[in-house]
Amino acid sequence: MRNFFDKKINKVLSVALILVSILVVIQTAFASGTLKAGENEQTALASNINPKIDEIVAGEGIVLTTTEPVSTTEKPTQTTTVAPSTKATKATKPSTAQATTQAATIPFATAIPPQTPADYNAQWNAGYLVAIDNPDTTYECGQVTLCDADRDLLERLCMGEFGSGGFVGAALIAQAVKDAMCFDGYTSVQAVIDDCHYTGRTDIGTNETCKQAVRYIFDENHDAVQHRIMYMYNPNLVHSAFHESQNYILTYQDVRFFDRWGY
């Protein structure tokens, strides 16, 4: 009788072991095949970063390990100068206040492919930090000269909006602000924050990476990507049908960037 029960127990244990092995295989397959919001674009972007990024960063004197915010004080208000651009026309843009939080079933917008393959080397050689598959070869933003107060506020905004994105993330935020000033006629960083509904904290200080990203975009008049950027959001924090209805440009880390349709 005991041998009978031992055989039964051995069979049960064998079946249980097989079931556990199957469950482990299934779980591993799903874990490797499931993407978070924007993860597919993020992975692809590894090969889109300018291969000279280390030289660019070194040239800016950036310490990549600098992550701690440094307290800053508000500078006296001065005037920020926005140079004219051939495309810097005033336009009525939809308010991002209309963005709605909906279920996670909102489909992600995808970049419209160009008629001819994008030339990554041309974008990198022109100083763009990230090559994209849908560059706007006619894109040109006017020079913006920041006053001390606007520079300080923008550096802190880059930290609050995308400080975790390092030099590239801060540069993308800085470009979005510059594009808003050039194409929509804003004359101060505070006006961009207020009217475009930026929500990043500006009271936590900044770091050297954000400071140098602002200098790269504004003082040296470079851009992070060869396309206008007007909107951005993190789909891990909110699901926005408004943003996904706009002209999708790229995803960097978890943040998705868009232009609007038309001017």
pLDDT of 66 > 90? The answer is no
143 and 226 fall within a common domain: yes
Arithmetic mean of pLDDT, 243-263: 93
Instruction: Enter the pTM of the model.
Output: 0.71
Q: Is 144 helix (H, G, I), strand (E, B) or coil?
A: strand
20 and 111 fall within a common domain: no
pLDDT of 78 > 60? The answer is no
61 and 29 fall within a common domain: no
Compute the distance between CA of residue 158 and CA of residue 173 in angstroms, rounded to an integer: 6
Band (pLDDT 50/70/90 cuts) for residue 69 is very low
The maximal CA–CA distance of the chain, rounded, in angstroms, is 95
Q: Which of 58-67, 144-153, 220-229 has the lowest mean pLDDT?
A: 58-67
Contacts of residues 259-262 at CB distance under 8 Å and 24 or more positions apart, as own/partner, are 259/227, 259/228, 259/229, 259/230, 259/231, 260/93, 260/94, 260/230, 260/231, 262/91
193 and 166 fall within a common domain: yes
User: Which pLDDT score is estimated for 248?
Assistant: 96
Q: Give tens-digit pLDDT for 9-31.
A: 667 667 667 766 666 555 544 44
Helices (H), the chain: 2-33, 39-44, 53-59, 120-125, 148-162, 166-184, 189-195, 208-214, 241-244
Q: Is 217 helix (H, G, I), strand (E, B) or coil?
A: helix
21 and 53 fall within a common domain: no
User: Which pLDDT score is estimated for 58?
Assistant: 82
212 and 244 fall within a common domain: yes
User: Which pLDDT score is estimated for 27?
Assistant: 54
Arithmetic mean of pLDDT, 159-173: 95
206 and 167 fall within a common domain: yes
7 and 84 fall within a common domain: no
Residues of the domain holding 15: 1-34
pLDDT of 192 > 90? The answer is yes
User: Which pLDDT score is estimated for 112?
Assistant: 86
Centre a 10 Å sphere on the Cβ of residue 245 and count the other Cβ atoms it contains: 15
Q: What is the DSSP letter of 98?
A: G
19 and 128 fall within a common domain: no
Summary mean pLDDT of the chain:
78
Those residues with Cβ within 8 angstroms of residue 221's Cβ, 6 or more apart along the chain or in another chain: 141, 143
30 and 48 fall within a common domain: no
Band (pLDDT 50/70/90 cuts) for residue 63 is very low
Total structural domains within the chain: 2
Compute the distance between CA of residue 251 and CA of residue 43 in angstroms, rounded to an integer: 10
24 and 50 fall within a common domain: no
Arithmetic mean of pLDDT, 173-191: 96
193 and 209 fall within a common domain: yes
